[in-house]
Amino acid sequence: MMLIGSQTQRVFCHCALLIALLVPVSALADTWQLQAGAESPDRGRQALAFLPNEVWIHAGDSIRWTFPTHERHTLTLLTPGQTRPPAFGPTFGILVGCPGITPDGSSFDGSACVTSDVLLLDQDKTTPPTYSVTFPSAGNFKFVCLIHADMTGVVHVVDPSQALPHEQNFYDREAQSEQARLLADASGMADRSEDAQGDDVAAGIGEVVTMTGSGSQTVSLMRFVHRTIVVRVGDPVEWTSLDPSINHTVTFGEEPPDPRPPSANVTLTLDGARQAVISSTSDSVNSGFLSPAPQDRANLAQSNPGVTRFRVTFASPGTFNYICAVHDQLDMKGTVIVHP
Ligand SMILES: [Cu+2]
């Protein structure tokens, strides 16, 4: 609807008058702006973090999260004590959710789960998606990303009669400084790994950074380091995931619809790694998820050791390109040049 000139003014005046009569100004509901994730221009360094991840608001206020990265995230509020669902069910890429997803603008009071779908900056779009949640009643609520286990935060919803400790510009500054610090950490990881020698490749490097008691943030270098290596026929090449929180794959040839399990031509080693032999540049080999062991917690069954290593022997010369099937949209790709 288009309103022009005096018409606009009249509508505005009526609304302002109505609001002034009905509601004290201090009780007007606010919409707070937070950020879900941040990335470097080349997408290789990812802050898997809510920026910031602790916020105080009034009951009745809303929070709008913006998703400005090419890495996927969700904004999810599980109910207290709810078992965390896996990110994806039988179909890779389709979110399990609450189960199910709830629409933009949903309300959360702790009684029913709320979650966005998977949100990311599409390849050809420049406007990041957003997701808003309204918090009608007081409480302390955890919010998480279902895709990244160590990406969590807390919202403190207080009674409107209470003063809030911070205004929006405080959170804006926090988001900026946390983003800068996390992405700088990833630069440091890249620099350190440049010193690595030999035929070993880091399949991603990361760290979990917990700055406050309110949640955890992760920073990940979504790269194979080194991106191109040169070996001889018969030399074993080993990929090791150095990320404590993120799954990666080493995938040659055709990308499988579900990259989670290893392909049938991959076998286990006695020391808990996976291995394969590649005979030709047309071979398709998928490591399956290289995954760290999850954090142990009291009163839960301890987790198994992670599978973080993949070894490949090349039986013929050639140039072998591969990808991480989870993060190829971030340009997580590599090449092995095999000489006779
Ligand atoms: Cu990856």
Q: Say whether pLDDT at 27 is over 90.
A: no
Q: How far is the CA of 162 from the centre of ligand 1 (A)?
A: 45
Q: How far is the CA of 204 from the centre of ligand 1 (A)?
A: 6
What's the burial of 246, exposed, middle or buried (CB within 10 Å: 0-12/13-18/19+)?
Answer: buried
CA atoms of 16 and 53, how far apart (whole Å): 34
Give the residue-averaged pLDDT of 178-189.
93
Residues 6+ apart with CB under 8 A from 248: 203, 204, 241, 289, 290, 324, 326, 327, 332
Q: How far is the CA of 263 from the centre of ligand 1 (A)?
A: 17
Give the residue-averaged pLDDT of 315-326.
98
Cα distances (Å, whole numbers) of residue 281 to 202, 255, 315, 321, 323: 22, 14, 10, 8, 14
What does the DSSP 8-state code read for residue 137?
Answer: S
- The secondary structure of 286-338 as a DSSP string is E---BBPPPPP-TTSPPPPPPB-EEEEEE-S-EEEEEE-TTTGGGT-EEEEEE
Q: Please tell me the predicted confidence (pLDDT) of residue 16.
A: 47
Q: How far is the CA of 250 from the centre of ligand 1 (A)?
A: 8
Give the residue-averaged pLDDT of 285-306.
94
Q: How far is the CA of 202 from the centre of ligand 1 (A)?
A: 11
Q: Say whether pLDDT at 243 is over 50.
A: yes
Q: How far is the CA of 23 from the centre of ligand 1 (A)?
A: 51
- 124-158 pLDDT per residue, tens: 778 999 999 999 999 999 999 999 999 999 999 99
Mean pLDDT, the chain, integer: 90
- 192-238 pLDDT per residue, tens: 776 555 678 999 999 998 877 789 999 999 999 989 999 999 999 99
CA atoms of 144 and 186, how far apart (whole Å): 22
Q: How far is the CA of 27 from the centre of ligand 1 (A)?
A: 46
CA nearest neighbour of 290 among 265, 266, 317, 318 = 266
Q: How far is the CA of 286 from the centre of ligand 1 (A)?
A: 13
Q: Please tell me the predicted confidence (pLDDT) of residue 295.
A: 86
Q: How far is the CA of 92 from the centre of ligand 1 (A)?
A: 15
